[in-house]
Amino acid sequence: MRAFANATPKNLTDAVEQVKQAKQGQKSVAIAGGGSDLLGMVKDHLVSPDVIVHLAAIKGNDTVTELAGVVKIGGNITLDALSRHPLIREKYTALADAAGVVGTPQIRNAGTLAGNVCQRPWCWYFRNGFPCFKAGGNQCFSAAGENQLHAIFGGGPSFIVHPSDTAPALVALDAKFHITGPAGERTVAAADFFTLPKVNAAKENSLAEGEILAWVEIPTAKPGTRSMYHKELDREAWTHAIVSTAVVLELDGATCRSARIVMGGVAPIPWRVPEAEKLLVGQRVTPELAVKIGETALIGATPLAKNRYKVPLAKEIVRRTVAAVAAKA
């Protein structure tokens, strides 16, 4: 492993400043949340930073706060703390569910919300040193290679799937991301934060050089809102989703007022399915409707040679999760 220096900022402004200074000194910089994945990437020579700026050193950006109309969540909150937080569990269940199924207990103890949202892809080509788009190269090896775990929506020219569990939940909960960077602060809707490879195949989101995902806000849940996140794994722990889905339903008795459905493991970004959502508005969630929601969610899927199985699997996961959320009401 190549040696690197550790930087321990006092606050977010200081973190931005330390990143800027390192860059001015011609040093390569990586920003770490929990650092559990970044250290592995350094060991595998996928990144070779001169300096790692540790956001975990910042005190206080790891809490859940209820404000007027919104819940504010510090980017540094650990996945474990988030998954156990009473308010998140009760009102924003999909996010607690998602945080609670990331990796392993060790990873959830170290890993942070912001880190999970910004995690690099786990495509086996990228992780094994192939010079792909994500590694600065100009091709996607999965397209005509081993693509069992790859995208069935939004692929091309890269076919990675977004690795985060919390990202689909945040998009489904209509979160906003607060970003701080050398040019100041900005706020972006979670759904607009993630970017498709056709926009920029080397990246998964719109963070500019030196920018940090500082904190997240979620609009206060309307009465009758219920949500869940379901992750389908190919072993019971320590993998990324084959397919997942976050479902948020606003229910008035048995009638659905509004719905947001976002799939994970199927696209290079959290994949929202508005056509499926529309079918729910003003309707009772019957078993037949749930089937139709699943079918509709997968319209337009373009599987690759080895991941056709994801289509029926995702249909079923969406169907089950929609039905399960409705049944909670």
Partner 1 sequence: MNPLKTAGHPTQRIDALKRVTGTATYTSDKHFPGMLYARVLRSPHPHARVKSVDVSKAQAMPGVKAIITRDNCDVVWSSGDTRNKRYLFNNPVRYAGDAVACVAAIDRHTAEEATRLIAVEYETLPFVLDAEEALKPEAPEIQPGGNLSADDKGKREAEVYKRGSLDRGFAEADIVLEDRFQSAHHNNAQLEPRVSIALWEGDKLTVHAATQGIANCRTDIARDLKMPVENVRVVCEYMGGGFGNKNQCQDSDLMAAVLAKKTGTPVKVEFSRKEDFISVHGRWPVTQYYKVGAKKDGTLTALQVRGYSGMGPYRKGRGDQGGPEVYQCANVEQSVTTVYTNMAVSANYRAPAYPHSVFGLESVMDDIATRLKMDPLEFRLKNMTRKYRDSVEYSSIGLEQCLREGAAKFEWKKRWHEPGLDTGNIRRGAGMGMGGFGSSVGKSEAILKVDSKGQYHLYVGVTDVGTAAKTTMGLIAAEELAVPLEKVTVHWGDTADCPYSVGESGGRTTSFTGVSVVEAAKQLKKQIAEKGMPKGSDMLTASVVTDPDTKGLARYSFLADFCELEVDMSTGHIKILKFLAVHDSGRVINPLTAQSQVQGGVIQGLSMALHEELLYDKRRGIPINAGYYGARIMTHLDVPLVETMFIETDDPFGPFGAKTLGEPPIVGVVAAVANAFFNATGRRIKSLPFSRDKVLDALGKKEVLA
Residues that bind partner 1 in the complex, under the rule CB under 8 A: 1-3, 45, 104, 124-125, 127-128, 130, 141, 144-146, 148, 232, 234-239, 242, 306-309, 312-313, 316-317
Give the shortest CB-230-to-partner 1 separation in angstroms: 10
* Nearer to partner 1 among residue 101 and residue 201 (C-beta): 101
Give the shortest CB-294-to-partner 1 separation in angstroms: 10
CB 230 within 8 Å of CB 318: no
Q: Tell the residue number behind the tokens 């086996």, with chain if given.
A: 124
User: E strands of the chain, at which residues?
Assistant: 5-7, 29-32, 51-54, 64-67, 70-74, 176-181, 184-189, 212-219, 225-232, 243-252, 255-264, 271-272
Give the shortest CB-121-to-partner 1 separation in angstroms: 13
Q: Tell the residue number behind the tokens 């994801």, with chain if given.
A: 310
* Nearer to partner 1 among residue 42 and residue 58 (C-beta): 42
Which amino acid does the sequence have at 78? T
Q: How far apart are CA 290 and CA 320, in angstroms?
A: 7
Q: How far apart are CA 73 and CA 216, in angstroms?
A: 5
Give the shortest CB-280-to-partner 1 separation in angstroms: 21
* Nearer to partner 1 among residue 9 and residue 34 (C-beta): 34
Give the shortest CB-237-to-partner 1 separation in angstroms: 5
Q: How far apart are CA 171 and CA 262, in angstroms?
A: 7
CB 121 within 8 Å of CB 270: no
* Nearer to partner 1 among residue 11 and residue 139 (C-beta): 139
* Nearer to partner 1 among residue 282 and residue 287 (C-beta): 287
* Nearer to partner 1 among residue 25 and residue 309 (C-beta): 309
Give the shortest CB-118-to-partner 1 separation in angstroms: 19
| Closest to 73 (Cα-Cα) out of 58, 57, 95 | 95
